[in-house]
């Protein structure tokens, strides 16, 4: 099984859960991981191999039975590692746009990002699941539980007891988030079971992810230039990174040394501040519906 995502999404936590639950079932397990950037934005992947006897921890191209992706572009980057015709593909459809994808400093400017849509990919894969896990987890109460929701989907493909999954997840997530993560896990299981019964359920549930504005324009679905920043002052540790890295210089530290958006009219919504904040204190909203959902 290969687990991929970007820094801050919990790829390593997911792979530890998988390795532990495989061990609980009596399998030998080997795991290898590359951490990428310590802060959000860098690619992170982990290989988990289990079985009666495992000789090597790494999985060659075309050799993975499962690709579990927490981010869409990372799913596309690793899709050729999936076993052709047999591998199970599970991905969040959320897009995390790296700062270097921004090609222009205009609001709604074009950005370099993968153009494959979930529908196109699922048409080519026999056993594929693409869900807007981030939005669904946010609707449940915490978007960071998206990774355990995807584990819920995977759990329906592996013959391990659901109680073992819940037990291991409870041990690896922060203690305060156990309830929401178990809820997200169960939600993922239910979603996958509904898809097994009726594949159209996935299509109904597959909400359109945040797509590069230029692609939306091409599709005639561009819905304006809404941008809103939420800065959680309780989480801001005054490191000044966002202030220094904002290309438009529209952030500053206030008298309390907390980050504030002091020139909102200049903000392009590029999300660089969001990805670089080590304390996850900034959320950039590009969709008014998401502001309501996370309020």
Residues forming the site for ligand SF4 (CB under 6 A): 229, 231, 236-242, 246, 248, 250-251, 259, 261, 267-273, 277, 279, 281-282, 284
For the bound state, the minimum distance from the C-beta of residue 109 to ligand SF4, rounded and expressed in Å, comes to 11
For the bound state, the minimum distance from the C-beta of residue 237 to ligand SF4, rounded and expressed in Å, comes to 5
Cβ-based neighbours of 280, under 8 Å, separated by 6 or more: 8, 40, 232, 235
In the complex with ligand SF4, the residue whose CB is nearer, 211 or 267, is 267
For the bound state, the minimum distance from the C-beta of residue 248 to ligand SF4, rounded and expressed in Å, comes to 4
What is the Cα–Cα distance from 286 to 135, expressed in whole angstroms? 13
What is the Cα–Cα distance from 232 to 283, expressed in whole angstroms? 8
In the complex with ligand SF4, the residue whose CB is nearer, 24 or 260, is 260
In the complex with ligand SF4, the residue whose CB is nearer, 195 or 273, is 273
The number of beta carbons lying within 10 Å of the beta carbon of residue 159 is: 7
Name residue, tokens 């304390």. 279
In the complex with ligand SF4, the residue whose CB is nearer, 121 or 272, is 272
Phi, psi of 221 (to 5 degrees): -115, 15
For the bound state, the minimum distance from the C-beta of residue 255 to ligand SF4, rounded and expressed in Å, comes to 14
For the bound state, the minimum distance from the C-beta of residue 246 to ligand SF4, rounded and expressed in Å, comes to 3
In the complex with ligand SF4, the residue whose CB is nearer, 91 or 290, is 290
Q: What is the dihedral of CA 39, 43, 48, 54, to 10 degrees?
A: -110
Which residues, listed in sequence order, are joined to residue 48 by a DSSP beta bridge?
31
For the bound state, the minimum distance from the C-beta of residue 210 to ligand SF4, rounded and expressed in Å, comes to 13
In the complex with ligand SF4, the residue whose CB is nearer, 139 or 223, is 223
**Cα angle 207-44-145, degrees, rounded to a multiple of 5:** 45
Tokens representing 215 are 């692609």
């Amino acid at each position: 099984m290969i687990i991929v995502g970007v820094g801050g999404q919990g790829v390593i936590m997911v792979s530890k859960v998988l390795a532990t639950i495989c061990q609980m079932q009596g399998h030998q397990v080997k795991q290898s991981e590359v951490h990428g950037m310590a802060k959000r934005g860098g690619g992170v992947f982990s290989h988990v191999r289990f079985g009666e006897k495992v000789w090597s921890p790494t999985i060659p191209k075309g050799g993975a039975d499962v690709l579990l992706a927490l981010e869409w572009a990372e799913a596309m980057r690793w899709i050729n590692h999936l076993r052709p015709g047999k591998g199970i593909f599970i991905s969040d459809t959320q897009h995390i746009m790296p700062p270097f994808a921004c090609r222009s400093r205009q609001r709604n400017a074009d950005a370099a990002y993968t153009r494959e849509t979930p529908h196109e990919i699922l048409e080519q894969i026999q056993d594929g699941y693409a869900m807007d896990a981030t939005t669904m987890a946010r609707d449940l109460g915490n978007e960071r539980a998206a990774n355990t929701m995807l584990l819920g989907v995977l759990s329906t493909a592996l013959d391990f007891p659901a109680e073992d999954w819940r037990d291991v997840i409870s041990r690896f997530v922060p203690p305060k988030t156990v309830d929401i993560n178990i809820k997200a896990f169960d939600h993922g299981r239910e979603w996958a079971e509904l898809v097994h019964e009726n594949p159209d359920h996935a299509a109904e549930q597959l909400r359109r992810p945040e797509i590069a504005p230029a692609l939306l324009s091409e599709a005639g679905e561009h819905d304006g230039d809404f941008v809103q920043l939420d800065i959680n002052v309780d989480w801001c540790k005054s490191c000044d990174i966002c202030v220094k890295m904002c290309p438009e210089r529209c952030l500053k530290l206030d008298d309390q040394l907390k980050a504030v958006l002091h020139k909102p009219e200049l903000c392009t919504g590029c999300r660089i501040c969001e990805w670089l904040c080590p304390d996850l204190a900034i959320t950039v909203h590009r969709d008014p519906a998401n502001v309501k959902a996370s309020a």
